[in-house]
Structures are given as C-alpha cells and as structure tokens.
Amino acid sequence: MWTPNDIPDLTGSTAVVTGAGGGIGVPTALHLARHGARVVMAVRDLAKGETVRSAIRSAAPNARIELQRLDLADLSSVRAFAAAFDGPVNLLINNAGVGMIPRRTTADGFEMQFGTNHLGHFALTGLLLPRLLAGPGSRVVTVSSDAYSLGRIDFDDLGLERRYRRFSAYGRSKLANLLFTLELQRRAGGRLLSVATHPGATATGIVKTGVLTGPVNALIRLVLQPPDKGAAPSLYAATSPEVTGGRFIGPGPKTLTLSPKALDETVARRLWETSEELTGVRFEALTQHS
C-alpha cells in the first residue's frame, strides 16, 4: 500500500498548498517539504500559519517552507497572492475549503461555499497558470469530496438565494471542484496534470465549523480518521508517477468512479465560462500555448 514514505525526491520543485494552516493541509505541507519541495503555505490566518510552520520546521529541520497570506473568499487577496508570487509552480494543491456553514457571502458577493471552494481556487489556478506551464510535469490537485453527489449546479440561482441548504450547498461546491478539474485537464491536454481527490471522513476544521457542533461534534470527531490519513490522496495525486490526469483519487489511495453528473462536459464548459465571467480570470495561457 502506498504511503507518504513513497513520495519521490522533490528537490528543486515548488508546491503551493492552500489552507496549509490546518486540517489535511498541515500533513500535506509537511510531507512535501520533508521530501525536498519548497512549500509555500497559502493561509488566511498568518498567526496560525506561523505556528504550523514552526511545527513543520521542528519535524523537518531542513524544510524549505514559506508563508503567504491568501483569502480565497476575497478575489483581491487571490490576485495579490498571485502577483507577489516568485518563481515557478510545480504543484498546486487546491486544498482549502469551508463546509456546511450557514449562508454567508464572500467579499465579492458570492455564496461562501461556492465562492471559496470553487471560485477562489478557479481564480488562483488561472492566475498561477503561466507559472505552472513554465516547466514540464506540473500538477494541479483539487480537493473535492464524495459529497459532490449531493450537489447540483443551478445556473439560474448560483447565489442560492431561493433556497439554501448547507449540505447541498457544500455538495454543489465539491461538484464544481470536480467539473473544474476535468475541464482543466481537457483544456490543458498534456501540458499539466489536473487531478481531484476525496480525503475521506477526516477530523478537520470543516467539521468543527459546520453543523456538527457541541457534544455531537466531539463524538463524531472521535470516529473520523486523522488529518495525516486524509492527506494521503492529495499527496499521492501530487507525487505518484502512476497518476494520470482527470482522475478522482480517494482513500487507499485508489481511483474512484465518477457519476454522470461529474462527467457532464456541457455543464463543465458552462461552469468554466461562468466562472471566468464571475472572477474576471481567463486562462489565456492555455490558448497561448496551444
């Protein structure tokens, strides 16, 4: 069985990990750094991120690990992060996310789960795309969930103003992650690998900030797997030579079968075009390199 010990030497590569200040982002950043990558922790809370960075440096004294602020719920923050970024990107791990929260909106007025989990990462990927395409073998790993099965993309109500249910809203954002992953692979061809992952039921901040609170939350968290195991699909997707683009990798790690809704190319194209309009980010590098 594959484990993080099987990660190859990543010396000379640069990895960006969103949401590296908590949950599965922490072991993701740790293992990539431990195997030689320069890791950029993209976090919303710099103080929390600094605590994690210090812990990673204690566990891996030779780690090359940096900290930069990124708020995926604010497109100005996404643009600032990308504009300030230095050097190529070999691995982009779109890991951060919010889940199952009461209805709120992002700084740009988007429903929070869709705006953060999908639109924020869509914009970040597009803005970093020239750096991803600068070298061979780059990968974009987007953390989705099997909860995508609960979601549906209603283009007439992307704000979910008519009816908001936190679980289905979360599922919609995870469905969008999958549709984006597959459409990116189709558009990029062989110029990079775009892969989605499902971490499995993991004890992370999404559980704490979702509907499972208080004693019920504490009980549920006892039976969930630790973040280190939840990070395994992402680490495998980012580093294994066996991985091919367009796959959905879950616990094991193993490839999961996608339902027809995730494979709908018509919806994926419309979502892509809508996301470009909403974020103002267009993946021009794909056209320039075609």
Kindly list the catalytic residues.
170
User: Is 206 in contact with 98 (CB distance < 8 Å)?
Assistant: yes
Beta bridge partners of 194: 140
Give the Cα separation of 230 and 236 in Å (integer): 11
Per DSSP, helices labelled H in the chain are 25-34, 46-59, 75-84, 112-113, 121-132, 166-188, 205-209, 214-223, 227-230, 232-239, 265-279, 284-288
Residue 171: which region, alpha, beta or left (left: phi > 0; alpha: psi -120 to 50)?
A: alpha
What's phi and psi for 78, nearest 5 deg? -60, -45
> Cα(119)–Cα(42) distance, rounded to whole angstroms?
16
The size of the chain, in residues, is 290
Neighbours of 194 (CB within 10 A): 26
The pairing of beta strand 64-69 with beta strand 139-143:
unpaired
